[in-house]
Structure 1
Amino acid sequence: MTPVAPVHPGQLNALPPARRTDTPRLRVATYNIHKGVRGLGPGKRLEIHNLGMGVKALDADLVFLQEVRLFNQREARHFDHTWFGWPEEGQAEFLAPEGYEAAYRTNAVTRDGEHGNALLSRWPIGEIRHHDVSDHRFEQRGLLYVPVSWQGGVVHTVVAHLGLIHASRVRQVQRLHDFIASHVPAGEPLLVAGDFNDWGERLDTPMARLGLLRARSPDGRLASRLTFPSRVPVFALDRVYTRGFRCVRSSVPRGPAWARMSDHLPLLVELELS
């Protein structure tokens, strides 16, 4: 078994600091954490402790997480005797920085455990909902809905992890539309973020039909949104779609520490109400 090697916090500080302005800004991150484990066989290593430092370094008000484990008996046995052991609580609670609230709901149940989506929030959260959007029996997918109190109002948030087949993703966007129409008041601020698995860049148009626009860096640089694969990113699979916000800055942290923790890099955006 490969020893668990901790990342030094100094390797994670190449991030733009949150800007203090007269206009309130919401700093939002989305991150597919690959269940907190990397590698296969004897080379498998536990990264959940390093991911905890990574999430803290993002300094985001809201962190949208995918592939988050509630528990996994096989992995808990495998890593039980490492220096950094398998956490006793679910990964969402484990990753939440001090003072944050964590919301989690299961998407997939396997023989050894469960995993799903999570939201970590610096601001108070309301009633959590889960909506199954599985398109076939080989992929269990869901939406996590969490209302967040911010600046005297409510920001409606949805954590998404869409399927691997384009036709499935199109149908899941329609189910997202149906869920929003049923549970989110028209005109109120809304964020939908996560791993969209949209290799062909084909979902922006159907999302725009729902009134959701993709958060992009104002300078338009493609490099500010490429997140997969983490070592040499060429695809922008991880996204934030917004209603009622405008994006003022976006970035993707890079470097060996970020590349090792997951097969995805996190996307970080700063938003202002529009």
Structure 2
Amino acid sequence: MKIRVATYNIHKGVSTIRSTPRVVALKKAIAQFEADIVFLQEVQGRHDRFHGKYGTTSHGEHHHWPERSQHEFFCGDSRHEHSAYGMNAVYDHGHHGNALLSSFPIDKSHNHDVSDHAYEQRGILHCVVNNGGVAIHCFVVHLGLFEAGRGRQNQALIDCVNASAPNGEPVIIAGDFNDWRNTLSDRLRTALGVVEVFDELGTRSKIGDLVRGLARREKPLAPARTFPAALPWFRLDRIYVRGFKVETAQVLHGTLWAKLSDHAPIVASLKLA
């Protein structure tokens, strides 16, 4: 069984330049992933401020801001017939959180509040996706901006996975970890038996270097650079998997992605082990 997955922080559907609405363009861009499951962060379940205003596609076409929540709008007329949303941050004109879009049925979903303090609401959305009778545990993650809090949220993620998938079931954890110093990965690998999608690809590359006699010492495993999208430098976005072989993984770069959000998306092809 092969599946294609993607993770993307969509910046609430508003561009980083002049706060231009980009919801229609984002829907078209998400379709380009050709992904069976899409993990989204900063998705607006409600935004009263933009209702009745116009958004602009990458082709210059104008469209009204959708009345539906963003995850429902993205699912409409697309390959993703199923979606789930976890509300995290609530404000006067709306709310936003994490969402999962899926081509496969979502048997159940639950949002775990992992907010570390009152000024920064964060959550982990857990969904069980049914792919032909195989239950895949999907966790959409958006961790905080402060390192100490991220450590506690990382432990909450570990506890959540161990409680819901304790017997080695297939797991995909994806999202914005804000882990710019890469301090969380080793703990996740040890506690959950997961690999980050670029781990295996990097290992293959290092083996090739050793065979050619080019490597002098083993380099630490590192996720891909995804932020800021226009010139990625920080390694904030991740896809961790258990029970899958990673066939391909890539960060999508270019003018389109730089206009849509401050994060670049990651797309990976997986095969059930």
TM range (shorter): 0.7 to 0.9
What code does the residue aligned with 2:85 have?
Answer: Y
Displacement after TM superposition at 1:75 (Å): 2.5
Distance, in Å, in 2 between the alignment partners of 1:120 and 1:93 is: 9
Distance, in Å, in 2 between the alignment partners of 1:113 and 1:148 is: 28
Structure 1 residues 131, 255: CA separation in 2 closer, same or farther (over 3 Å shift)?
same
Tell me which residue corresponds to 1:35: 12
- Kept in 2, the 8 Å contact 1:143–1:161? The answer is yes
Distance, in Å, in 2 between the alignment partners of 1:83 and 1:247 is: 39
Distance, in Å, in 2 between the alignment partners of 1:269 and 1:61 is: 10
User: What secondary structure is seen at the aligned counterpart in 2 of 1:45?
Assistant: coil
Equivalent of 1:162 in 143, 157, 175: 143
Tell me which residue corresponds to 2:94: 113
User: What secondary structure is seen at the aligned counterpart in 2 of 1:93?
Assistant: helix
- Kept in 1, the 8 Å contact 2:195–2:241? The answer is yes
Equivalent of 1:45 in 5, 20, 26: 20
- Kept in 1, the 8 Å contact 2:21–2:55? The answer is no
Instruction: Provide TM-score, normalisation by structure 1.
Output: 0.85
What code does the residue aligned with 1:35 have?
Answer: K
User: What secondary structure is seen at the aligned counterpart in 1 of 2:89?
Assistant: strand
Distance, in Å, in 1 between the alignment partners of 2:186 and 2:129 is: 27
Distance, in Å, in 2 between the alignment partners of 1:172 and 1:217 is: 22
Displacement after TM superposition at 1:147 (Å): 0.4
Tell me which residue corresponds to 1:203: 184
Distance, in Å, in 1 between the alignment partners of 2:88 and 2:21 is: 22
What code does the residue aligned with 2:3 have?
Answer: L
Identity of aligned pairs, percent? 42
Structure 2: tracts of 5 or more residues without a match: 206-220
Structure 1 residues 223, 202: CA separation in 2 closer, same or farther (over 3 Å shift)?
closer
Map 1:61-76 onto structure 2 (within 5 A): 61-76=36-51
Displacement after TM superposition at 1:183 (Å): 2.0
- Kept in 2, the 8 Å contact 1:39–1:45? The answer is yes
Distance, in Å, in 1 between the alignment partners of 2:247 and 2:79 is: 27
Size of the aligned set, in residue pairs, is 249
- Kept in 2, the 8 Å contact 1:224–1:252? The answer is no
What code does the residue aligned with 2:272 have?
Answer: L
Which stretches of structure 1, 4 residues or more, deviate above 6 A after TM superposition? 221-224
What code does the residue aligned with 2:253 have?
Answer: R
Note the alpha carbon deviations across 1:142-198, whole angstroms, 9 max, x for none: 110110112431000010000001111110011112222222242110111000001
RMSD of equivalent CA atoms:
2.1
Tell me which residue corresponds to 1:247: 246
1:264 aligns with 2:263: yes
Equivalent of 2:197 in 208, 211, 215: 215
What code does the residue aligned with 1:95 have?
Answer: F
Map 1:92-171 onto structure 2 (within 5 A): 92-96=71-75, 97-171=78-152
What code does the residue aligned with 2:198 have?
Answer: R
